[in-house]
Amino acid sequence: MRKSFKTLALLVVACVTFGLMSGCGGNGSNDGAVANKSINEGDEVQKSETAKDDRGGQTVPGVFKKYDPPVEISISTAIKQEDFRNGDTLENNPLTRWMLDNMGVKLSYKWVLADQNDAFNTKVRLALASGDELPDVMYINDLVVMDELIKSGKIESVDEAYEKYASERTKQTFDKNAVVWNQVTSDGKRWGLPTIADPVVGDVVMWVRQDWLDAVGMKAPTNVAELDAVLAAFKKKFPDKTPLAVAGKSLLTWWMGDTQFMFGTSQPMTWNEDSSGKLQYGSIQPGIKGALTKLNDFYNKGYMGKEFGTNDEMQASSLFTSGNAGIIFGAGWMGGWPLNETAKNVPGAVVKAYPLPSGADGTVGRHGSKLSYGSYVFRKGFDHFDAIFYYWDTTLGRALEDPNSPFAAGMAEGYDYVMKDGKPDWKDIPNGASAAIQQFALLDPGAAPGMIEGPAIYERVASGKKDNIYEQKLAENTEPLVIEGNMAAYSQPGIDRTDLFNGASTKTMTDKWSLLFKSETETFLKIIYGKASPGEFDTFVEKWKENGGEQITKEVNDWYQSTKRG
Amino acid sequence: MEPIRAKWNWKTNWPLHFMLLPSVILLFIYSYIPMFGIIIAFENYKSYSGFVHSEWVGLDQFRLLFNDSRVTEIIGNTLFISLGKMVLGWIVPLAFALLLNEVRHMAIKRIIQSFVYLPYFISWVILGAILTDMLSPSGIINQGLKALHIAPVFFLGDNDWFRITLIGSDVWKEFGFGTIIYLAALAGVNPALYEAAEIDGASRWRQTWAVTVPSILPVSVIIATLSLGNILNGGFDQVYNLINPLVSAKGEIIDTYVFDMGLRQGAFSFSTAVGLFKSVVSVILITITYRMAAKFANYRIF
Amino acid sequence: MYHKTSGYKLFYAINLTILSIGAIVCLLPLIHIFAVSVSSNAASTGNLVKFWPIGFNLDAYRRTLDSPDFAQALWISVSRTALGTALSMFLCFLAAYPMSKVNSQFRGRTAYSWYFIITILFNGGLIPTYLVVNATGIRDTIWALVMPGVVVVFNVVLMMNFFRGIPKELEEAAQIDGANHWRVLFTVFLPVSLPSIATLSLFTVVSHWNSWFDGLIYMSNDKQPLATMIQILVQKQDYTRIEMNVSEIAKISARTLRATQIFIGMLPVLVVYPFLQKYFVKGMTLGSVKE
């Protein structure tokens, strides 16, 4: 009954990715020409802001005309941290001014919540229950809430507007990443605009204390046997330290201090297609058993520390940043935080990112980054879709490395860039660079994987290229360790096992999943701790199927079929 | 004085009703009216359908709870943890208040009292991280045990120790705050009673039993009775922040279970059903206690 | 005199030792939080700070105190606490008096007590309460933080219990002098109840100060109390549903800043304590009132 309990897991806003996460793409066709066109002068950026009318059909759908008098669009936003500068306010800041000047749209904030996650979901549900009017635009990242909104009839389908107003390049981006539509598709209609995520943003790599590696005179491991040897050498050389930092408290394949490399291509906790194109749950695949057995071996050899099962992600990463661990697995962004703190705590510490070693069965694999972290939905009766798609296209330009984008240098001068002698500068920003203002944007389409030909921007920057403004920005405003981490992720293309189930919970899932999941995490941890024999895994799989797993698999596949339009 | 007693009637008593009136009205608005929402325990409530139009499912939500193979285990855990917390959480503040009452140096008394009250204000998220650190096999507590040649204990990863750790740390966090109410009661004891006992030659021990304890007994009975309302709670924040898969078999309580269920759905109906179940159990326990106190001690707890 | 016996002296020494150890153990977490708040980010991220700061600096305090949002939230917290406590204590004081009568003196007392107790045991849950708050038109005003919980039944029951301990003779003497219930309550009960009022006020202050969920659902952003703001910092963060942006994540996860806001957020309520403490440590005894 005490709903206050329910707001524990925080979800901060969906993020907005400029600078760091902005434009990246793997392999695709299309806008290579755009990407390679260099613009060095910041004034070109300025010019494009004023010369909005002569932007070609590529950037502007053509049908959008600036509103005069201005119209108001209300949005909701969940803030992590406010950081307004130069007298700016929520209602009057570089983002709102740009929209008012260029689009005739006045942004208003109907709900400003201090976080996303349950607080936001609660707000939506309370509004639905009390009949309060919803904001015009909402960012939804909870699939159950999405489902409730769709069924409530209080949001608008985007199908018609998409056909009418989406620019060519917007459509291409979605066509290349069509699977993101699944999360907003119901009864053959699309009820929201999904953001598309940078494909490496959550990809896990291996972070190693290079100075430890040098001290034992070894090279970075590329398979599990080599890893075993390195950890053994660490253990011997630094007996009171923890060779491998693992967070076992919530999941073994979470976001920092995980062990997903060990599972190779059979990644637990994801739904993947089997050879017949059906979705299967990863945690019950036979490959899991060997990985757990090997982790048990690691535990017995004292590599992971007795207490790893009670460590959460923060505690696991603290082990590393305090200089007490030699290896931690985690995403490429960990190079920017928290691993960059290691050298400050331990003089002489050198942290390096490496590709994942192969797992227990010799294969290399990891959890794929999410394809999408959420979607924008629109209140029933909302009728400024032209503005939405115009802004979508304009901000998408950043991901496409469009030199004419008004946001090429950044979203807000004085926040994520400053102009110096007519050129953008990302280093010398008074009070430091801040991305906080992005939370107040109307929307953010995310990345555009597959849209830029050739190497991804991280790869280009890592190889020293600083030709276009996006490359310059990335080179200037990103910690080298982040670039290094992401490079390690890029060096292993095609190993991602992405969770393909992104619908709302199915009926049986709703009732049974929490128990099934609990038995899963318990069994896994028990096996690693040696409190259960590896044979227990088979019992778990049997029980899993019996206690609803089989039925859930069927329902998940029904859903999967239903998302395939026409 | 009899005539005065006899005069209690509506004419003189109307102020008594009048004094209660604002509270009664406010409780009606903000507690009783929302209670109609309990109806969703029997529905499959969806925010978009509302209370009236959501699907009526009868006792299905309760079945979902009780058909679960682990529910007895979970209820058992909850009872163990909350009873432990109730009993110790009742005795420790009481004992501490009595001990503190013996301290005659005012400054020391005040300082001790201010310190013990501090942990109450620190949230479990923060304390959880601190405890995980301190109680880990290599943490400070186990280093201490090692120095005393006691085998290390994996307080948070051992099924037998986990619940004890929960109870112990909860009592530690709350006892200082709980002590305050007893100190207030002790402050109300008439010193003349001690003087009289002193003259009778009663030892300090006897004085404590004869004067101090009776003076704080009523309030401690009330607190114990009201704490019965928490019998199926167990302390969500604490458990949620300390539980891990190694100990979930013994550490999972009803509220963490409901929370997990809720993550998969907007489980308003399910959590309301579970809440209703907990309320009913509490009502039964409190009523029994109330009746027994009235019958055997002729004492109206409230 | 019992103080003089050697047995008692021994007890006193042991007692003092135990209490002091207990007190120090209770102080440590706060010291830890304070130490983290004035340490360098790197050291606190590495979980290296125990009870002594590493890389001492006051940046986090400067940032926190400079923030206009923080001041605003602090103000909301102070006002809700002051208003909520005053109102709540007044209602409690009024309600406890009739409830402290015996059944024969006040007919209907039992019915009232169950009417009160039931509200602790059953609760309608989030949505219906929200709808009522909405319907009574107080959402997004300070009253939304005050009214829904203004009658604290637990306090009424405790206050009632304190009232029962007041010697009957006091009341009867006043009645002989012709005092009615109002006079008895305000001239006889009020002066002797200060310790209990102080105690219950403290409870109310603390619960108002700490409650954060109501601020989250009833108040718009610029009107949220400090506890709501801090709760967000303190909450467990689930990064799996967010696309990561390093610069932001580093900021919201800055442990020193978190520790600072938690520490500053606790201060006011800790400061209130010594002021109220004198009422229940020294004891404003009922015995001082002549019978």
Tens-binned pLDDT, residue by residue, of chain A (566 aa)? 333 332 222 222 222 222 333 333 333 333 333 333 333 333 333 333 333 434 333 344 456 888 989 999 999 887 666 678 888 888 899 999 999 999 999 999 888 776 655 778 888 989 999 888 999 999 998 888 999 999 999 999 999 999 999 999 999 999 999 999 999 998 889 999 999 988 888 899 999 999 999 999 999 999 999 999 999 999 999 999 999 999 998 776 667 899 999 999 999 999 999 999 999 999 999 999 999 999 999 999 999 999 999 998 888 999 999 999 999 999 998 998 889 999 999 999 999 999 999 999 999 999 888 888 899 999 999 999 999 999 999 999 999 999 989 999 999 999 989 999 989 999 888 888 887 788 888 999 989 998 998 898 999 999 999 999 999 999 998 889 999 999 999 999 889 998 899 888 888 998 888 889 989 999 999 999 999 999 999 999 999 999 999 999 999 999 998 887 54
Bigger pLDDT: A296 or B221? A296
Reported as type and span, the H/E element at residue A273 is strand A271-273
Q: What phi, psi does A89 have (nearest 5°)?
A: -135, 180
Q: Are residues C32 and C160 in the same domain?
A: no
Nearest CA in chain C to A198: C243
Name residues whose C-beta falls within 8 Å of residue A483's C-beta, 6 or more positions apart in sequence.
A335, A458, A461, A462, A474
Mean pLDDT of B275-301: 90
B40 belongs to a structural domain: no
Highest mean pLDDT: which range of A215-229, B62-76, C209-223: A215-229
pLDDT band of residue C280 (cuts 50, 70, 90) is: low
Across the interface, do B264 and A145 touch by the CB < 8 Å criterion?
no
Residues in chain C: 291
Contact of C121 with chain A, judged by CB distance below 8 Å, is answered with: no
C134 belongs to a structural domain: yes
Identify the domain boundary among C32, C59, C86: C59
Chains A and C form CB pairs within 8 A to the count of: 167
The pLDDT assigned to C195 comes to: 82
Q: A315 near A244, Cβ under 8 Å?
A: no
Q: Are residues C165 and C225 in the same domain?
A: yes
Contact of B150 with chain A, judged by CB distance below 8 Å, is answered with: no
Contacts of C261 in chain B (CB under 8 A): none
Q: Are residues C113 and C13 in the same domain?
A: no
Contact of B147 with chain C, judged by CB distance below 8 Å, is answered with: no
Q: Are residues C14 and C86 in the same domain?
A: no
Amino acid sitting at position B1: M
Within the 128-167 window of chain C, which residues sit less than 8 Å (CB to CB) from chain B? 128-129, 131-133, 136, 147-151, 153-154, 156-158, 160-162, 164-165
Q: Are residues C47 and C161 in the same domain?
A: no
The pLDDT assigned to A565 comes to: 59
pLDDT band of residue B4 (cuts 50, 70, 90) is: very low
The pLDDT assigned to C1 comes to: 58
Q: Are residues C72 and C33 in the same domain?
A: no
Range of the domain at B223: 57-296
B34 belongs to a structural domain: no
Contact of A249 with chain B, judged by CB distance below 8 Å, is answered with: yes
C253 belongs to a structural domain: no
Question: Which residues partner with B43 through β-bridges?
Answer: B56
Q: Is the pLDDT of residue B31 over 50?
A: yes
B102 belongs to a structural domain: yes
Domains present along chain A, CATH in parentheses: 4-197+373-452 (3.40.190.10), 204-368+499-562 (3.40.190.10)
The pLDDT assigned to B90 comes to: 93
Look up the CATH number of the domain holding residue C222: 1.10.3720.10
CA atoms within 13 A on the CB side of B130: 24
CA distance A134 to A161: 19
- Please give the mean pLDDT across all residues of chain B: 88
B240 belongs to a structural domain: yes
Residue B213 C-alpha, separation from nearest chain A C-alpha, in angstroms = 36
C278 belongs to a structural domain: no
CA distance A304 to A215: 20
Across the interface, do B259 and A8 touch by the CB < 8 Å criterion?
yes
Amino acid sitting at position C188: V
Contact of B32 with chain C, judged by CB distance below 8 Å, is answered with: yes
Q: A299 near A311, Cβ under 8 Å?
A: no
Nearest CA in chain B to A129: B47
Which of C29, C118, C136 shows the shortest C-beta gap to B29? C136
Q: A32 near A457, Cβ under 8 Å?
A: no
Contact of A33 with chain B, judged by CB distance below 8 Å, is answered with: no
B224 belongs to a structural domain: yes
- Give the β-pairing of A242-245 and A325-331: parallel
B23 belongs to a structural domain: no
Q: Compute the CA torsion angle A290, A293, A298, A299 (nearest 10 deg).
A: 150
Look up the CATH number of the domain holding residue B138: 1.10.3720.10
How many distinct structural domains can be found in chain B?
A: 1
Contacts of A519 in chain B (CB under 8 A): none
Q: Are residues C53 and C73 in the same domain?
A: no
Which of C48, C131, C242 shows the shortest C-beta gap to A11? C242
C154 belongs to a structural domain: yes
Q: What is the DSSP string of B76-128?
A: HHHHHHHHHHHHHHHHHHHHHHHHHHH---HHHHHHHHHHHTGGGGS-HHHHH
Sign of the Cα pseudo-torsion (A509, A514, A515, A521, in order):
positive
The percent of residues above 90 in pLDDT, for chain B, comes to 47
Across the interface, do C127 and B268 touch by the CB < 8 Å criterion?
yes
CA distance C110 to B291: 12
A63 exposure class (CB count in 10 Å sphere: 0-12, 13-18, 19+): exposed
Residue A168 tokens, joined: 């060519």
Contact of A311 with chain B, judged by CB distance below 8 Å, is answered with: yes
B115 belongs to a structural domain: yes
Which of C129, C165, C270 shows the shortest C-beta gap to B34? C129
> Among A1-10, A311-320, B16-25, C229-238, whose mean pLDDT is lowest?
A1-10
The pLDDT assigned to B101 comes to: 87
Chains B and C form CB pairs within 8 A to the count of: 261
Residue B157 C-alpha, separation from nearest chain C C-alpha, in angstroms = 20
B195 belongs to a structural domain: yes
Q: Return the partners of chain C (3 or more C-beta pairs < 8 Å).
A: A, B
**pTM higher than 0.90, yes or no?**
no
C285 belongs to a structural domain: no
pLDDT band of residue B264 (cuts 50, 70, 90) is: low
Residue C41 tokens, joined: 């980010």
Q: Is the pLDDT of residue C252 over 90?
A: no
Residue A477 C-alpha, separation from nearest chain C C-alpha, in angstroms = 10
C112 belongs to a structural domain: yes
CA-nearest of C94, C113, C248 to C159 is C94
Range of the domain at C51: 6-59
Contacts of A12 in chain C (CB under 8 A): 237, 242, 248, 252
DSSP class of residue A9?
S
H helix count then E strand count, chain C:
16, 0
Q: Are residues C136 and C236 in the same domain?
A: yes
Three-point CA angle B74, B78, B82, nearest 5°? 175
Contact of A338 with chain C, judged by CB distance below 8 Å, is answered with: yes
Bigger pLDDT: A435 or B286? B286
Question: Which residues partner with A241 through β-bridges?
Answer: none
Q: Are residues C109 and C133 in the same domain?
A: yes
pLDDT band of residue C250 (cuts 50, 70, 90) is: low
Within the 59-88 window of chain C, which residues sit less than 8 Å (CB to CB) from chain B? none
Residue C141 tokens, joined: 């005003």
Contacts of C134 in chain B (CB under 8 A): none
- Please give the mean pLDDT across all residues of chain A: 85
Mean pLDDT of C162-182: 89
Q: A474 near A484, Cβ under 8 Å?
A: no
Across the interface, do A513 and B264 touch by the CB < 8 Å criterion?
yes
Residues in chain B: 302
Across the interface, do A310 and B157 touch by the CB < 8 Å criterion?
yes
How many distinct structural domains can be found in chain C?
A: 2
Quickly tell me which residue has 């209609």 as its tokens.
A189
C51 belongs to a structural domain: yes
Q: C35 near C263, Cβ under 8 Å?
A: no
CA distance C205 to B120: 14
* Helical ranges in A434-468 per DSSP H: 457-462
A80 exposure class (CB count in 10 Å sphere: 0-12, 13-18, 19+): buried
Residue A345 tokens, joined: 């705590």
Residue C58 C-alpha, separation from nearest chain B C-alpha, in angstroms = 21
pLDDT (tens digit, 9 = 90+) per residue, C36-66?
999 988 888 888 888 999 999 898 898 888 8
Across the interface, do A7 and C252 touch by the CB < 8 Å criterion?
no
CA distance C263 to B121: 10
CB atoms within 10 A of CB A558: 11
Contacts of B229 in chain C (CB under 8 A): 120-121
* Helices A287-300 and A224-237, axial angle in degrees (round to 10): 10
State yes or no: cis peptide before C98, omega within 30 of 0.
Answer: no
Q: Is the pLDDT of residue C97 over 70?
A: yes
pLDDT band of residue B263 (cuts 50, 70, 90) is: low
The pLDDT assigned to A50 comes to: 34
CA distance A22 to A439: 15
Sign of the Cα pseudo-torsion (C263, C269, C275, C281, in order):
negative
Residue A175 tokens, joined: 């066509």
Long-range pairs of C60-63 with CB within 8 A, sequence gap ≥ 24 = C60/C254, C60/C256, C60/C257, C60/C259, C60/C260, C61/C37, C61/C260, C61/C264, C63/C257, C63/C260
ipTM of the complex: 0.89
Q: Are residues C147 and C214 in the same domain?
A: yes
C88 belongs to a structural domain: yes
